Amino acid sequence: MILVALGANLPSPEFGAPPASLERALVLLDAEGVRVKRRSSWYRSAPVPPSDQPWYVNGVAEVATSLPPEALLAALHRIEARFGRVRARRNEARVLDLDLVAYDDRVSAPGDPAPELPHPRLHERAFVLMPLAEIAPDWRHPRLGLTVAEMLRRPPAGQGVTLIE
């Protein structure tokens, strides 16, 4: 199972408000050889760490691709750049954030040539776990051995996440 987390908290000049931008990002994945198999609803979440930024809109998609993790991550970064994303500071507001959360059961570490998998802060992010629980509650974290449902039994503290109706 290949999982991509999506998020935005600034409008895109070309694509509009965060929900519309995230919908467009899902469409653009296909042009990169990445097929969306299923996706979560959108969720509104407080910035992490807490700040005065606008709240985010987040979701998770299960995708299928023949691209290896490095090439998939490069494709995600190309899509972000198309939206005007510039990586200047960590945890800054953004028009689009696409994270490779998991790639099958691969486990890698910082310094490996491949992206760090699973995403190193996945289990600490309610804004990823809640949408992931919607599409794959039984997915098991390959490093921790816990399912999404089990990780949500001990939700990260202080992270407001609500379903957008």
Residue 30 bears catalytic tag: no
Taking alpha carbons only, the member of 32, 86, 37, 39 closest to residue 58 is: 39
Residue of 38, 78, 89, 99 marked active site:
99
Catalytic residue among 39, 44, 94, 125: 94
Of the candidates 24, 30, 35, 85, the residue annotated as catalytic is 85
The answer to whether residue 104 is catalytic is no
Active site residue 99: yes
Q: Which tokens go with 76?
A: 């995600």
List strand residue ranges (DSSP E) for the chain, in order.
2-8, 35-39, 43-45, 56-64, 97-103, 161-163
Structure tokens at 75: 């494709």
94 is catalytic: yes
Q: What are phi and psi of 84, to 5 degrees?
A: 95, 10
* E-only strand ranges, 13-154: 35-39, 43-45, 56-64, 97-103
CA distance 51 to 143: 30
Which one from 97, 140, 143, 154 is the annotated catalytic residue?
Answer: 97
Give the catalytic positions in this structure: 85, 94, 97, 99
